[in-house]
Chains A and B, each alone.
Chain A
């Protein structure tokens, strides 16, 4: 199936890029690297003002009623600007869980607030190296949560958490307010991601799904967030591709632009291939939202986008030579973001395993 963006979607892409180009400043992002617990508020203000936080929330719940394709376009622009903010993707994931979950009261209470950006949310599924542990240690009993979730993206400042937990022997997906929860900020190489350990101690929580339904809802939420993240990665990779191309055209060595050397220009050409493949996978995945092969398409998008962004970060710095590793040049913002996005919401190993499971299931 081929997808062409329509006029409205094209406008979203152009406009989000224009706004971010005008408002983002790498000096601001560089300063954030040296602080723990701080994030790029001007970006978030822009996201709120532009309506991006409610983009994929139905109109009945106060959103704009658009879908993954449109949110993906915004994420691409955010990725190019290494902004993203830690709340755009999880906010969408939590909204989807509320829409698909069984708790009508929670849906009515939280969705409009998410759409209007009155609150921020995070997704706390992972424990240790398992993005979705078969038997989570965080326990849910008698309406409350106990246990710890390590290094949750956005955890240092979010108001609400969607938590993968266990009730007896069955998994549950629950929603908890974080007001009274103790948090330990985690200092990282990409501090604006607001990583924090969340420590629940008899924290009240509402059940959105239970048992097998919880597992499939959790996977769906992860896949949806993976598609958004993949768009963000493609945006970053494409930005690096352009930076590398521009530098190769202007920087001279041995009396000619370095882009005349095949080892440089072929590398950039190969990067172009990686970016376009990842972009195609992203568009395909966004268009398969809600279909039976969505998980496969999401894994494809996530894997190819991770590879594209990682490669772009590495190659772009290589092409720049010494200047590429300077603080001011700020290519390391992309290098850091490429690595943090590669690990968040399921590593490549997780998505590869999931893909294998899905494909063997299809063949059997």
Chain B
């Protein structure tokens, strides 16, 4: 694959930035379960997180394919973009469906990093991938909405100023009766978390097996201005779907980066480590699994760029975005598992970073959408098989 000079330049710039944040930085954050604020600040200052925001709102106006390269390089350098990736794509919903006034009010701040939009409140304890059954409600009261309910797996809520919130504004049965569309009745709000904290909104961290800063968010009669509504009331589900494709493509790019990191580490170790008087990489039992992971990663990488290209061409490539995420997350997980095996006992030792990356890589066959739901999507929408759930 030949890349344009611009893309190669982006790769070099991200690599240079990431070199300032070596393994020991991430090990320290992981040990203390701290948010990598310095890293996120550096990314923001360098303008990488504003890649997708148009020039007129203070961003770099890059295409998704370029943004994907940024995320890939972060992961390939051993860093963890999960701490900030949402800043890149959550604003997409605001950009596509927000009013000009909302865009002027928020996008420049998000581009400069002054405003952090890192939190996306969708999942709930009783509705994971079945988004339409969510129970958080927003009821119009004069020029305000009153929000009640609970969100879960809202990542980075403690490190964000704004939250994109999906809530039900029309009861499900009423929406179905009125519009005959099962997807109607949900709305999207841009909530100013600085205002809301302690006034009807509270955030509780969830401890996970990797350092991921995820939380539960509770709403108890939270009042937000009616002007927080994005687009039209009741159309929120449709709005977030297009954002989800961008999210899947970017996360797939991260997975490709992870796979590259694991493959590079495993290859390096297999060349150096000697057992029975020769490098372990001379054994087929060692070199073949690395080679297989490399092939798997390259195939996934092609699908990621294909999906990003289709997105940039103005489409909304649901099938490609889903397949990119499926293939890339499986490639990164296969590479992670392989890398631990190649490192033997050292794969479990903190100082090699393999165990940390292994824990981090495990997330992506589950989140932000599980492999099962991707397969369901392909079966139903691409192959025309009956809906299975």
Contact = CB atoms under 8 A, between A and B. Distances in A.
A266 B285 CA distance: 8
B288 interface: yes
Contacts, number: 10
Contacts of A261: 284
B342 to A, nearest CB: 14
A218 B283 CA distance: 52
Interface string A262-302: 11001000000000000000000000000000000000000
A261 B284 CA distance: 7
Contacts of B283: 262
Nearest to A261: B284
Nearest to B288: A263
Contacts of B288: 262-263
Nearest to A263: B284
A263 to B, nearest CB: 5
A266 B287 CA distance: 13
A262 B288 CA distance: 10
A261 B285 CA distance: 9
B292 to A, nearest CB: 11
B295 to A, nearest CB: 15
Chain A, interface residues (CB within 8 Å), range:
under 10
Nearest to B283: A262
Interface in A237-265: 261-263
Nearest to B284: A262
A85 B285 CA distance: 40
A263 B285 CA distance: 6
A10 to B, nearest CB: 36
A266 B288 CA distance: 12
A261 to B, nearest CB: 6
Interface in A68-125: none
A46 to B, nearest CB: 43
A271 to B, nearest CB: 15
A266 B341 CA distance: 16
A266 B289 CA distance: 12
Interface string B268-309: 000000000000000111001000000000000000000000
A111 to B, nearest CB: 46
A239 B100 CA distance: 74
A334 to B, nearest CB: 26
Contacts of A266: 284-285
B275 to A, nearest CB: 13
Interface in A301-352: none
A267 B357 CA distance: 29
A102 to B, nearest CB: 41
A262 B285 CA distance: 6
Nearest to A264: B284
A261 B288 CA distance: 11
Contacts of B285: 262-263, 266
Contacts of B284: 261-263, 266
Contacts of A263: 284-285, 288
A119 B61 CA distance: 82
Interface in B323-365: none
A262 B283 CA distance: 7
A266 B284 CA distance: 10
Contacts of A262: 283-285, 288
A251 to B, nearest CB: 16
A221 to B, nearest CB: 32
A263 B288 CA distance: 8
B121 to A, nearest CB: 35
B369 to A, nearest CB: 26
A261 B287 CA distance: 12
A133 to B, nearest CB: 20
A266 B286 CA distance: 11
Nearest to B286: A262
A266 B283 CA distance: 11
A262 B284 CA distance: 5
A249 B23 CA distance: 47
A271 B251 CA distance: 37
A289 to B, nearest CB: 37
A301 to B, nearest CB: 29
A243 to B, nearest CB: 22
Interface of A: 261-263, 266
10 contacts: A261-B284, A262-B283, A262-B284, A262-B285, A262-B288, A263-B284, A263-B285, A263-B288, A266-B284, A266-B285
Interface of B: 283-285, 288
Given A262-B285, A266-B284, 8 more contacts: A261-B284, A262-B283, A262-B284, A262-B288, A263-B284, A263-B285, A263-B288, A266-B285
Q: Which 6 residue pairs across A and B have the least CB separation, nearest first?
A: A262-B284, A262-B285, A263-B284, A263-B288, A266-B285, A262-B283
